[in-house]
A and B are shown apart, each in its own frame.
Chain A
């Protein structure tokens, strides 16, 4: 089974994100960058699918700058076989990025294309379904379980109040949600091996932006809360305020 996994370099979820001086970008100082956490599930699933099939290869791919090599190496250290760096700027909406990825994927052999459900920087939740549409492939997003039997895929995706079952035939696209699996940590041996694995670089240029960026802002501060009181005796006063001041009850 040949698998392509699209991954992205993003700030660690613990990072404090501070506005840059220009009010249009973030201050990258002190930010630790990681492989997007949802993409870890995608890489893990790819490795398991390949192991299950007993043959094939796992290619990790990213659209980004030179620094994204580090992210690709992380995925290689987990066990992916080779990496592709598409050199260029991703777009802030999903479509520009999806177009670059789709064009590169089209050139290669694959049975499955895996994604994370969402990149935790722009929080777009767009790229996987867009790539599927551009390549005319079936697709399941926000997937928490997947079974592949021959070329028949049964994926379970999370929806409000339950799960949806999505069935299609390969080749196809799957976007991973937390819960799909437990991603492995790169072993020391894996990290050493990753340095020698093939990493191809292709200049693809910057992705098209369909949105104009107007302003980047700090979220409205929530007014510091009031401590209503201590212990159960504070409850009647809380209920009164919820009803009369907040009009929430």
Chain B
């Protein structure tokens, strides 16, 4: 028996999500006293990353290496993962609830006839069975579920489990990457020319989010400077009001119809804190709000608030953080 964890890669590089998935998978493996097996699908050059998966908690790394697996190949990935689950008699298979994990996990679940709990914030083994906690109704309620049968499939919300070093032997095994060509129906590639220099809002360590209080897209310079001061782990986020006004791209929207984020630190700048926005960020570890209205609902969820004009507060904040960073 074993617990499997899908090690996500993109463009031949292991993603942060893969390391977080190892931590989540470890919790299930330790809880049931079995080994954690990382499954890594990708181009041959990626084999070197097996060592990193072992460093972050994989007892064993199962590799399927082929140039055909460099880009996301939904049918091939589904077949290889389902095969790995069956061959190992896996108790569970853990994904990240990333864009890819959310596309892939349901396919594998359907192939295996297995239950899937998505966007899980906590998982464990209780009395021998896998249980999971997940927000529903956009985080207005939390539901705890148990799996009626193995294998249990789960996708874990990015940032819910931190990547932590936990070195293991990480024995490498190769599986044949060949899949039934009959089943290959989809061609997926990354759109060219879209390389952002900041992390995605759903995966960032720090999110600097702006709302209608910013008054216009030209003022985003203020938030960019703050994000730059905070470092390369900081991403920009936005409320829907701002996205609807075309001030910012939809990819930055946080909330019920945008992304759900759980960063260690979230700045809500000129955001009122409507229920649909809160749905997207209330699981952040630390929330800071800047709003000129002391009654703004965002202050009800913020750990720290400053009541004031953001055009005065934000530049000062950037300055203080730069100072802090330069002191080391």
Contact = CB atoms under 8 A, between A and B. Distances in A.
Interface stretch (B32-40, B57-65, B193-201): B193-201
A225 B299 contact: yes
Contacts of A108: none
B305 A126 contact: no
B110 A129 contact: yes
Identify whether the interface residues of A are mostly helix, strand, loop, or mixed: mixed
A65 to B, nearest CB: 19
Contacts of A122: 136
A216 B148 contact: no
Contact of B282 (A14, A125, A222): A222
> Interface extent on A, as a size class?
35 or more
A130 B107 contact: yes
A158 to B, nearest CB: 6
B257 interface: yes
Contacts of A73: none
Given A211-B147, A230-B308, A162 B191 contact: yes
B143 interface: yes
Contacts of A16: 140
Nearest to B257: A178
Contacts, number: 268
Interface in A178-215: 178-179, 209-215
Interface string B126-143: 000001001111111111
Identify whether the interface residues of B are mostly helix, strand, loop, or mixed: mixed
B257 A160 contact: no
Contact of B116 (A126, A137, A156, A165): A126
A235 B142 CA distance: 35
Nearest to A225: B302
A241 B186 CA distance: 51
Contact of A232 (B75, B257, B285, B308): B308
A130 B111 CA distance: 8
A92 interface: yes
Contacts of B72: 164
A30 interface: no
Nearest to A140: B186
Contact of B110 (A98, A125, A165, A229): A98
Given A142-B99, A164-B191, A222-B303, A126 B316 contact: no
Interface in A99-130: 120-130
Contact of A162 (B105, B196, B258, B320): B196
Given A17-B141, A161-B194, A248-B264, A211 B187 contact: no
Given A125-B102, A126-B106, A210-B147, 8 more contacts: A13-B138, A130-B110, A162-B194, A168-B187, A179-B250, A218-B142, A232-B316, A238-B317
21 contacts: A94-B109, A95-B114, A120-B256, A123-B135, A129-B110, A130-B109, A133-B106, A178-B257, A179-B250, A214-B144, A217-B143, A217-B144, A219-B142, A224-B300, A226-B305, A229-B306, A231-B307, A232-B316, A235-B320, A249-B230, A249-B324
